[in-house]
């Protein structure tokens, strides 16, 4: 019997992995951040306080096809991971990293890419468009047509529309052009056309910020100004340990070795392919290291390093000897995380288990609040925390609207601009017990504590909430915003 070819095996394996990711995406409860981005999708805009618009657009497409459940919200995530795998394979081949399979497999075996393959966050479209830009640049490095600069511009623009971190993609390409690619800038107009296209695609985000007092730019740009060298060792240690876990240990070590080798090739041989990998891998890494001198680097931020890093790792002779071990460790860790996210089979304490603390018990909390509202005659649920409010807006029926006491919502063009609830109407105010400050009393004529509700799985509590009976005061409609509803009436 003839043995299947490598392309056939890769396609079958990728199809199976994508199918698994689609199933898991439909089973894992929607996280508060994903619910928040779902609210964005109900209020289409060129920009939002935290990020550009792409994640909202992707969620809107998925929920239009499959409804407002977890599968609809996340539908495009597994598909984008599959497409990114194909593009990284081809980019690795064109940059001289063998047949490309090792790079694609290493990327898929990281927990970062594994999580990105089932969750819908701004990183999900960002990583696809980052890989696509790297793929287009790989064709240019391999001697392809200068028209690939146009494609590069499109992908960079779409990456900028996904997350502001994509500025490092633009900076990396510029860095690659400086030593060996100046011929393009001096003799060909197409790189400049590509840059113009990227900026044109990003222009709606710029205009939205200009119309909203630069709120998003100030929020994200404010992260860069901190400097706390006394805590640098702690933050750097967390950064390295976090990436050892999220990239998985063997893959992280291979990626570091690959980038070091690529840097040596740039210095000794002026290798253009290695230079592209260094520009798109080492430059972001140095930026995150610099950031760690002032503040904590969130574990998902360095995900953009790995497309270039796994290609660099695939060029290491050592990688082929360790490839099976790296993939075994990575995929086993990923499957354990998937299983824990779906059903929490490992009996970790509720608060200690992020799959319970972040994901567990939202449906039950929504049902409990609906029951409490029926008992008390409450006609709305009020919150002052965006994640909690977004989860409840997604799950509570339209007949029990969620209203938010948070100025961030004033930046939204939400589909329910009015609150058809008169002063004197009774509602429930829900607040996490982690917050020790008293609730804001300005929207309320009266407020009475009626107890605590817990949220969790299998008797393990991830978070508790204090419930108040409140009465809408004269300023109620002016101070709160009604959120959209994803549930049936």
What averages of pLDDT result for each successive group of 10 residues across the chain (489 residues)? 71 96 96 96 93 97 96 98 97 93 96 93 98 97 92 98 97 88 82 96 97 90 64 87 93 96 93 94 93 87 96 92 94 94 80 84 94 94 94 92 89 69 90 91 93 89 94 88 75
Assess if residue 1 is contained within a domain: no
Specify burial of residue 43 (Cβ count, 10 A radius: 0-12, 13-18, 19+): middle
How far apart are alpha carbons 37 and 164 in whole angstroms?
A: 16
Please say whether the beta carbons of 42 and 48 come within 8 A.
Answer: no
How far apart are alpha carbons 317 and 311 in whole angstroms?
A: 12
- Give the predicted TM-score (pTM) of the model: 0.94
Can you give the pLDDT at residue 489?
Answer: 43
Assess if residue 355 is contained within a domain: no
Nearest of 282, 297, 284 to residue 237 by alpha carbon: 297
Please give the residue range of the domain that contains residue 171: 6-343
Nearest of 332, 273, 280 to residue 303 by alpha carbon: 280
Residues 190 and 289 both lie in one domain: yes
Query: Which secondary-structure segment (H or E) carries 460?
Result: strand 460-472
**Boundary-marking domain end, from 313, 343, 373:** 343
Residues 239 and 386 both lie in one domain: no
Q: Which residues contact 215 (CB under 8 A, 6 or more apart)?
A: 49, 209, 411
Residues 134 and 10 both lie in one domain: yes
Nearest of 7, 145, 140 to residue 86 by alpha carbon: 7
Residues 28 and 100 both lie in one domain: yes
Residues 298 and 397 both lie in one domain: no
403: left (phi over 0), alpha (psi -120 to 50) or beta: beta
Please say whether the beta carbons of 362 and 29 come within 8 A.
Answer: yes
Assess if residue 177 is contained within a domain: yes
Assess if residue 352 is contained within a domain: no
* Alpha-carbon torsion angle 161, 164, 169, 175, nearest 10: 130
Residues 445 and 337 both lie in one domain: no
Assess if residue 349 is contained within a domain: no
How far apart are alpha carbons 413 and 151 in whole angstroms?
A: 32
- Dig out the tokens for 278 from the structure: 């260094």
Give the number of domains in the chain.
Answer: 2
**Pairing state between β 460-472 and 444-457:** antiparallel
Assess if residue 88 is contained within a domain: yes
Residues 118 and 55 both lie in one domain: yes
Residues 130 and 234 both lie in one domain: yes
- What are the phi and psi torsion angles at 157 (to 5°)? -60, -45
Query: Which secondary-structure segment (H or E) carries 457?
Result: strand 444-457
């Amino acid at each position: 019997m003839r043995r299947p070819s490598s392309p056939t095996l890769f396609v079958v394996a990728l199809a199976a992995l994508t199918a698994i990711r689609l199933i898991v995406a439909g089973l894992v409860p929607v996280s508060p951040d994903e619910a928040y981005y779902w609210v964005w999708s109900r209020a289409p805009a060129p920009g939002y306080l935290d990020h550009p618009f792409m994640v909202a657009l992707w969620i809107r497409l998925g929920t239009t096809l499959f409804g407002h459940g977890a599968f609809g919200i996340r539908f495009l995530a597994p598909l984008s991971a599959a497409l990114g795998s194909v593009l990284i394979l081809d980019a690795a081949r064109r940059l001289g990293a063998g047949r490309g399979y090792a790079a694609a497999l290493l990327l898929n075996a990281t927990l970062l890419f594994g999580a990105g393959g089932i969750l819908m966050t701004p990183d999900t479209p960002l990583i696809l468009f980052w890989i696509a830009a790297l793929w287009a640049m790989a064709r240019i490095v391999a001697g392809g047509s200068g028209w690939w600069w146009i494609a590069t511009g499109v992908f960079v623009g779409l990456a900028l529309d996904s997350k502001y971190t994509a500025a490092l993609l633009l900076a990396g390409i510029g860095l690659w052009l400086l030593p060996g690619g100046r011929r393009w800038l001096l003799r060909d107009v197409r790189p400049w056309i590509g840059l113009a296209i990227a900026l044109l695609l990003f222009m709606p985000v710029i205009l939205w910020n200009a119309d909203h007092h630069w709120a998003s730019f100030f929020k994200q740009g404010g992260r860069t100004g901190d400097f706390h060298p006394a805590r640098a060792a702690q933050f750097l240690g967390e950064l390295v340990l976090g990436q050892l876990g999220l990239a998985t240990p063997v893959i992280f070590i291979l990626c570091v070795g690959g980038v070091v080798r690529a840097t040596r090739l740039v210095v000794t041989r002026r290798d253009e392919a290695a230079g592209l990998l260094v520009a798109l891998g080492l430059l972001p890494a140095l930026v995150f290291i610099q950031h760690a001198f002032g503040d904590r680097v969130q574990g998902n931020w360095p995900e953009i390093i790995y497309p270039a890093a796994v290609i660099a790792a695939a060029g290491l002779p050592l990688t082929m000897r360790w490839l099976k071990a790296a993939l075994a460790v990575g995929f086993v860790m990923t499957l354990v995380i998937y299983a824990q996210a779906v059903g929490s089979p490992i009996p970790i304490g509720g608060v200690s288990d992020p799959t319970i603390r972040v994901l567990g018990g939202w449906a039950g909390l929504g049902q409990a609040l609906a029951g409490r509202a029926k008992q008390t005659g409450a006609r709305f649920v009020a919150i002052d925390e965006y994640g909690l409010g977004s989860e409840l807006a997604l799950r509570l029926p339209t007949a029990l609207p969620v209203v938010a006491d948070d100025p961030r919502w004033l930046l939204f063009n939400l589909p329910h601009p009015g609150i058809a609830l008169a002063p004197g109407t009774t509602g429930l105010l829900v607040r996490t017990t982690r917050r020790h400050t008293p609730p804001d009393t300005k929207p309320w004529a009266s407020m009475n504590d009626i107890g605590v509700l817990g949220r969790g799985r299998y008797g393990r509590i991830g978070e508790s909430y204090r419930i108040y009976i409140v009465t809408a005061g004269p300023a109620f409609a002016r101070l709160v915003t009604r959120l959209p509803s994803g549930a049936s009436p």
